[in-house]
Structure 1
Amino acid sequence: MIRVQREDFDLGAELRALSDGDHGIGGVASFVGLVRDMAAGENIGAMTLEHYPGMTEKMLGRIEAEALERWPLNASLIIHRYGRLEPGDQIVLVATASPHREAALESCHFLIDWLKTKAPFWKLEDTPDGGQWVDARDSDDEAAARWRKQADGS
């Protein structure tokens, strides 16, 4: 399941719903991204996330489909927020459920790494010097590259 939404989400309710009634699930892994109050040594008052409706959901669907091909998952969930968010606010939830913990953990890690590099979101941080667009980070590309190598068998 994929949702791109402005409103916040209830982490506990979302995780319960992911595995509700499926007794074949042996493990649920999740990652919640939060807005920090500091980035690159600068204070952040808020962050505005923008996306392209339709295109964003389509790309998230491709990323989720790849995880479902790579791991034996009973369920997966991606919730990504947009709009103005303040420090401490939840930005993203990625959760996977599988009969086996390793598949749940690895697929969750894969999903968040690929979201950081492939999902079409743009971040504008409010700093004391004004709004600053966030550039892609090399560390995010390096994290995603590890999954490409595994897919290639190298």
Structure 2
Amino acid sequence: MDTSIEVVFAGLSSQPISVDAAIAAVESDTAGAVVSFSGVVRNHDGGKQVQRLSYSAHPLATAVLNEVVASLGAVRDPSGHPVRIWLAHRVGPLEIGEPALVCAVASSHRAEAFELCSALVERIKAEVPIWKEQFFTDGSVEWVGAGHVPPDAAPENSQP
């Protein structure tokens, strides 16, 4: 039997996001499984030490995120109860150890919860226009997918 998806929350946040709050938001008496994912800022990337990150989002990022969730349609849940979803992606500055992406899914059974949580995370990372700026301890900065800026690079002067 196909069942509905109940989106408790799906959006961007400039404030810290909590895995515990996400889990609490989707829990229900019908949920036999609650699966969560937390993508946290790590202190390294590509062999370099990361100091901090900053995420920027395109003005349409929230709409794209909601389109991803809406495109899931009906989910296969043998019990017929709704599958509940909570997800948020941070924007702005983040420190090492802070959650950047949190997703929680509650379902009657674990297989559906794991599958849906994994699919959501992969699609959000692939489709939602959010860019990561990494600040390294050596002073260099890198936009993921946009190349590397050496620490001694000066901004281009637009004056003639």
TM-score (structure 2 length as normaliser):
0.77
Could you tell me which residue of structure 2 aligns to residue 135 of structure 1? 145
2:108 paired with 1:99: yes
2:47 paired with 1:38: no
- Equivalent residues, number: 133
Give the counterpart of 1:47 among 43, 46, 53: 53
Instruction: Judge conservation of contact 1:78–1:95 (CA < 8 Å) in 2.
Output: yes
Superposed CA RMSD: 1.6
TM-superposed deviation, 1:12: 1.5
Give the counterpart of 2:97 among 85, 88, 98: 88
Gaps of 5+ in 2: 1-8, 147-160
Give the counterpart of 2:11 among 3, 22, 47: 3
Higher Rg of the two aligned structures:
2
**Given the superposition, is the C-alpha separation of residues 67 and 28 from structure 1 closer, same or farther in structure 2, using an over 3 Å criterion?**
farther
Instruction: Judge conservation of contact 1:67–1:110 (CA < 8 Å) in 2.
Output: no
Instruction: Judge conservation of contact 1:28–1:96 (CA < 8 Å) in 2.
Output: yes
TM-superposed deviation, 1:103: 0.3
Gaps of 5+ in 1: 137-154
Could you tell me which residue of structure 1 aligns to residue 30 of structure 2? 24
Give the counterpart of 2:62 among 57, 61, 65: 57
Instruction: Judge conservation of contact 2:18–2:102 (CA < 8 Å) in 1.
Output: no
AA at the equivalent of 1:12? D
Going by fraction, where is strand more abundant, 1 or 2?
2
AA at the equivalent of 2:37? F
Going by fraction, where is helix more abundant, 1 or 2?
1
Could you tell me which residue of structure 2 aligns to residue 115 of structure 1? 124
Deviations 1:23-76 (A, max 9, x none): 2211111100000110011111111100023x1111111111233434445210
Whole-Å separation in 2 of the counterparts to 1:56 and 1:75: 21
TM-score (structure 1 length as normaliser):
0.79
Which 4+ residue blocks in structure 1 deviate beyond 6 angstroms?
none
Whole-Å separation in 2 of the counterparts to 1:71 and 1:45: 42
